[in-house]
């Protein structure tokens, strides 16, 4: 993969085809993505980042670009490297002096895409919840309840995000429709900037605990309309955080 990516920089009156092309390194794009992830709580202060190889696979870039981005983030105070057997690269800060600039490039500049993702989720996830409530079998309920318990018992952000992903995957699988499962996973991936987590705060987790419990109960009891209604509210949590971050960055649509 090339070490540079093309970005358009234009005056307000310029047409899309008249703008000069300015090259940016792939590592710079990775920095934008990760700073935005920190601001959204995809990774929180004190949390260890995945290994370079895993990050490279998530983002579809070279390990060299990941390494360059992590070095820059360390210099800018977002990350710290800890040595030893329990060492690694850890998040140090979720916001810095240039965070708004990074967020505007990564999130605000692609806002039309995110609006489409929000809209698709609003349409699809209530349908998935309703269908799961109508079609779930006793065998389906085991993984759903186990994932819910893991979410309730999660001791940290990593455990919470893994349990959250398993819970929503298990509910989607209870529809017994492969396309719905794939669509749900794809939308979750896009919301999470391809980094394997949803936007997160402690308050969102507290709200999600109750919503998860209500959603699982509705699915288990076959209350299709209730399941749809709960899902419609639940899946606005990430959207609300992302809209708030766009506003904080000074680029709210």
Token output for 144? 């759903």
4-8 and 79-82: which strand pairing? unpaired
Q: What percent of the chain has pLDDT over 70?
A: 90
If you classify domain 110-248 with CATH, what class do you get? mainly alpha
Is residue 12 pLDDT above 70, yes or no?
no
Higher-confidence position of 210 and 1: 210
Radius of gyration in angstroms for the set of CA atoms belonging to the chain, rounded to a whole number: 20
What is the per-residue pLDDT across 78-132, written as a single tens digit (0 to 9) for each? Answer: 999 999 888 899 999 999 999 999 999 999 999 999 999 999 999 999 999 999 9
Question: Can you give the residue ranges of every domain in the chain?
Answer: 4-106, 110-248
For residue 23, the model assigns a pLDDT of 44
Per the prediction, the chain carries an average pLDDT of 91
Least reliable range by pLDDT among 43-47, 81-85, 120-124, 166-170: 81-85
CATH number assigned to the domain covering 4-106: 1.10.10.10
Q: What is the mean pLDDT of residues 201-222?
A: 97
- For residue 225, count other CB atoms closer than 10 A to its CB: 12
For residue 84, the model assigns a pLDDT of 86
Token output for 194? 């391809």
Give DSSP secondary structure letters for 143-176: HHHHHHHHHHH--SHHHHHHHHHHHHHHHHHTTT
DSSP 16: T
pLDDT band at 16 (very low <50, low <70, confident <90, very high): very low
Q: What is the pTM of this model?
A: 0.88
Largest CA distance in the chain: 60
Rounding to the nearest 10 degrees, give the CA dihedral for residues 28, 34, 40, 43.
-170
Is residue 14 pLDDT above 60, yes or no?
no
Q: What is the mean pLDDT of residues 220-225?
A: 98
């Amino acid at each position: 993969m090339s070490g540079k990516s093309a970005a358009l920089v234009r005056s307000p009156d310029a047409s899309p085809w008249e703008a000069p092309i300015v090259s940016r390194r792939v590592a710079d794009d990775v920095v934008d993505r990760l700073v935005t992830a920190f601001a959204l709580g995809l990774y929180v202060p004190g949390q260890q980042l995945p290994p370079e190889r895993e990050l490279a696979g998530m983002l579809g870039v070279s390990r060299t670009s990941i390494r360059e981005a992590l070095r820059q983030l360390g210099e800018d105070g977002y990350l710290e490297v800890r040595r030893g057997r329990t060492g690694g690269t850890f998040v140090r800060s979720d916001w810095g002096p240039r965070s708004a600039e990074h967020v505007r490039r990564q999130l605000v500049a692609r806002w039309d895409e995110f609006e489409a993702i929000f809209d698709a989720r609003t349409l699809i996830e209530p349908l998935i919840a309703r269908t799961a409530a109508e079609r779930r079998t006793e065998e389906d309920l085991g993984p759903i309840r186990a994932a819910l318990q893991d979410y309730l018992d999660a001791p940290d952000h990593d455990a919470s995000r893994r349990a959250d992903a398993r819970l929503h995957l298990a509910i989607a699988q209870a529809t017994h429709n492969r396309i719905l499962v794939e669509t749900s996973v794809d939308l979750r991936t896009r919301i999470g900037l391809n980094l394997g987590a949803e936007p997160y705060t402690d308050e969102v987790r507290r709200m999600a605990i109750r919503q998860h419990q209500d959603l699982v109960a509705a699915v288990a009891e076959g209350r299709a309309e209730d399941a749809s209604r709960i899902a419609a509210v639940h899946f606005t949590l990430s959207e609300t955080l992302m809209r708030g971050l766009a506003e904080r960055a000074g680029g709210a649509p």
